[in-house]
Amino acid sequence: MTTSTLAAVIYEQGQPAVVETLELGDPGPGEVMVKIGGTGVCHSDHNVYSGYRKTEDLPTILGHEGAGIVEKVGAGVHGLDEGDKVVFAIRPMCGKCKYCSTGRWNLCSPITSHTPTAEFRKNETKYFGGVATFTEHTVVWENNVVKVDSEIPLDKAALVGCAVITGVGAVVNRAKVETGSTVAVWGCGGVGLNVIQGAYLAGASRIIAVDINADKFQYATQVGATDTVDASQTDAVEAIRGLTGGGVDYAFEVIGQPATLRQALEATCEGGTAVLVGAAPDDGEVMIPMRHLFLDRALIGCSAGTGRPRYDFQWLIELYKQGRLKLDDLVTRTRPLTEVNEAFRDMEAGAVARTVLVP
Ligand code: APR
Ligand code: ZN
Ligand code: ZN
């Protein structure tokens, strides 16, 4: 049997996404079909749409930050039933590879990953995609979803799967920011705002939000920024050194550009740590003065918030229920899936913290 589903497809990078009806097969062994309840528009989706990150795997279905309800369960699936609320995990969590076996779930090896036997099809065309959440229905490996509290609204839960875990996780799992530390964050998009709220949750004493779009500072302040620096008007590194008397303990780059990564490192104090959170462009290179590292500074990367989705998603949602993790303020706009191109335009214009598409 197949299920008809809308999907946002990229046929050619740099061209608008096409929202059309495809046929999706039933989940095979170890797979589940999920009815999407909400899916966030992340800059990583924009990178594929715009061609900033080149891919040969076309046509491709976008979307990775999503939440939904299990609709069909394949043979041999354990711990997931029809009707369960789930949040998608970007990496699969096979539980067996070197990385999973050593607790580094965010690095789960693609070698052990499982491509669903259920495919999206239209006539003879085969579609690529990851968890493919810019759809009404998708089929994924059981290890790509985490069952979560049935009370959380799906349009908010979606953010937990990428923006929240990537941002909050970078602070608490990767950098392990200590209470009282000073923090600067480059980029106040959906992910950067979650680095800010992660720093707030960690008890950072100063949280300096940096952006070139001053409209973003209202959101940054809402989630805990104590200071803002408009990098289109002022030298951010100088401003941060001035505000902190020599630099921050932790600087997070949440854009994915060589120039801002270098700025982040330069804004740390001696002994400080700069963390790359933004997705690196394939050919991106950064030149850094060796003396910075010689003075006990560290430059580290962070993938998907060094997250352990089965564990981290639960406590993040618990904090949301208690009002301590802000998700409602981050969803600036909800649109139907058919308006995906408009959502990308809002992102380009800096008009939103996050758009959530609701099929
Ligand atoms: N200096 C400061 N801020 C900048 C600069 C710059 N040179 N260039 C862009 N920005 C700001 C934008 O104004 C915007 O507010 O960075 C922010 C990026 O936000 P989004 O486009 O919403 O991106 P987001 O989804 O948060 O993703 C950020 O993290 O996971 C990765 O792939 C993702 O690399 C991307 C990054
Ligand atoms: Zn993302
Ligand atoms: Zn693994």
- 291 shares a domain with 180: yes
Contact 186, 192 (CB under 8 A): yes
Q: Is 18 a domain residue?
A: yes
- 126 shares a domain with 46: yes
- 142 shares a domain with 6: yes
Number of alpha carbons in the 13 Å side-chain half-sphere of residue 23: 9
- Residue to mutate, 43, 240, 262, 347, ligand 1, most ligand atoms under 8 Å from C-beta: 43
- 85 shares a domain with 28: yes
Contact 30, 98 (CB under 8 A): no
Per DSSP, 12 falls in state S
Q: Which pTM was predicted?
A: 0.96
- 187 shares a domain with 277: yes
The count of structural domains within the chain is 2
How high is the pLDDT of residue 91? 85
Q: What does the block give as tokens for 280?
A: 């690196």
Rounded CA-CA distance 300/1 in Å is 47
- 29 shares a domain with 122: yes
Query: 27 CB under 6 A from ligand 1?
Result: no
Quote the percentage of the chain above a pLDDT of 70: 99
CATH number at residue 123: 3.90.180.10
- 274 shares a domain with 220: yes
How high is the pLDDT of residue 281? 85
Segment 67-105, tens digit of pLDDT: 999 999 999 999 999 999 999 998 888 988 999 999 999
Segment 208-262, tens digit of pLDDT: 999 999 999 999 999 999 999 999 999 999 999 999 999 999 999 999 999 999 9
Least confident residue range of 132-146, 162-176, 277-291, 308-322: 277-291
Task: Provide the greatest CA pair distance for the chain.
Answer: 65
- 242 shares a domain with 127: no
Asked whether the predicted pLDDT for residue 306 surpasses 90, the reply is yes
Asked whether the predicted pLDDT for residue 3 surpasses 90, the reply is yes
Quote the percentage of the chain above a pLDDT of 90: 92
Look up the domain containing 48 and give its range: 2-147+327-358
Q: Is 285 a domain residue?
A: yes
- Residue to mutate, 193, 255, 348, ligand 1, most ligand atoms under 8 Å from C-beta: 255
Return the bridge partners of 24, or none.
3, 120
Asked whether the predicted pLDDT for residue 112 surpasses 90, the reply is no
Asked whether the predicted pLDDT for residue 113 surpasses 80, the reply is no
Let me know how long the chain is.
Answer: 359
Mean of per-residue pLDDT scores for the chain: 96
- 138 shares a domain with 7: yes
Which protein residue has the closest C-alpha to ligand 1 atom 18? 189
Rounded CA-CA distance 198/319 in Å is 11
